Structure 1
């Protein structure tokens, strides 16, 4: 029985992943208007009803792959030494993990562009980032002995990599830099850790 349940769960996860990948590919190749329950389902050779059983919207389907891959980022953070400072853990995990989560630069540029013109996709993107920030806050709370439901500190610190990822991804996707995504993340963590100089008053003359 346990084996049968495990097999069913693996099949469900595989179907969900295939539907999300199909939705993502259709958006990249043909635009978001091409992403419908019918077209996605046909690509995976299932019924539109199956699509709707897994996803409440095309936007959720498009971004679900990123959500699932983000869980590996969170687990990598959780696996860092318990006595390691949180900033060190973020610096170790985020630069490489973000590439695995987001994937190809050209595809992400399409996502950024389409999201800017599509409020529903932008809203879903913000929901995804909020979900990842919550998971990171839970890990930080575990490592610091805080209560994620009662203490603000884990949420404040988790918001830092969340904001960092949003800013870096948009900057990187615009294509005006030759720096790699991991290098941009490393530089951003260093700047945030050291304190950004922007906004400081100029010295008196």
Structure 2
């Protein structure tokens, strides 16, 4: 019997998510306090009262745990998308679910800019950061396809739409990070999604140079 993708999460899955979230939050906290290089898997496991072996059942490395919040946030976007009215146009539903999810915690605190930059730009963490974004793009594409209906053409368009949304979020985040938090993250995401919906009119390029007619 096929599982209903819209069914509520079972108790076991909720517990697994809670454990994963606790370890991810501990990894982030320890990395912020001690620096990424000084954090060990044992430290993260001890912080939440589990064994290193249990930690390794959830994450392959401390860097993956640090970046796990990215994947969890996208799972929340997927849940928000499933809750959107069924008659709502697809792009509007995806945009609304994205903004709703990222807006729950409000604008990122500017005090976290220095910590976020030092962690995200750390060579080993940056690689996991990009891998996490690739994962959430796939998760969102599956959610879009679930709403749009299966089919070869829909599958291709779902991946494209997910890539556009994820690029908007990632671009807004790095814009916020590199500008010391002075550029509002949520507003930038909203603007980028609106421009994408309108065909990104700002990317018009220079006027073509007219070649002189041959005499």
Match of 1:111 among 99, 109, 116: 116
Contact 1:148–1:154 (CA under 8 A) maintained in structure 2: no
Counterparts of 1:141 and 1:89, CA distance in 2? 13
1:92 maps to 2:96: yes
Question: The residue matched to 1:84 in structure 2 has which SS?
Answer: coil
Aligned to 2:62: 58
What are structure 1's unaligned runs of at least 5 residues?
A: 1-5
Counterparts of 1:9 and 1:141, CA distance in 2? 23
Deviation of residue 59 (structure 1)? 1.1
1:59-92 Cα distance to aligned partner (Å, 9 max, x none) = 1111223322321111111221223222211332
The aligned length equals 199
Contact 2:168–2:189 (CA under 8 A) maintained in structure 1: yes
Greater shift, 162-171 or 183-192, is seen at 183-192
> Structure 2 length normalisation: TM-score?
0.77
Match of 1:139 among 138, 143, 147: 143
Greater shift, 132-141 or 156-165, is seen at 132-141
Match of 1:41 among 41, 45, 58: 45
Counterparts of 1:47 and 1:166, CA distance in 2? 33
Question: The residue matched to 1:151 in structure 2 has which SS?
Answer: helix
> Structure 1 length normalisation: TM-score?
0.80
Aligned to 2:206: 201
Deviation of residue 23 (structure 1)? 0.4
What are structure 2's unaligned runs of at least 5 residues?
A: 1-9, 211-215
Aligned to 1:128: 132
Match of 1:81 among 78, 85, 98: 85
| RMSD, aligned α-carbons | 2.9
Match of 1:181 among 179, 182, 185: 185
Deviation of residue 203 (structure 1)? 7.4
Question: The residue matched to 2:67 in structure 1 has which SS?
Answer: helix
Go from structure 1 to structure 2 and tell me whether the alpha carbon gap of 1:141 and 1:99 turns closer, same or farther (over 3 Å shift). Answer: same
1:119-140 Cα distance to aligned partner (Å, 9 max, x none) = x322211221122111221222
Deviation of residue 190 (structure 1)? 1.6
Counterparts of 1:9 and 1:85, CA distance in 2? 30
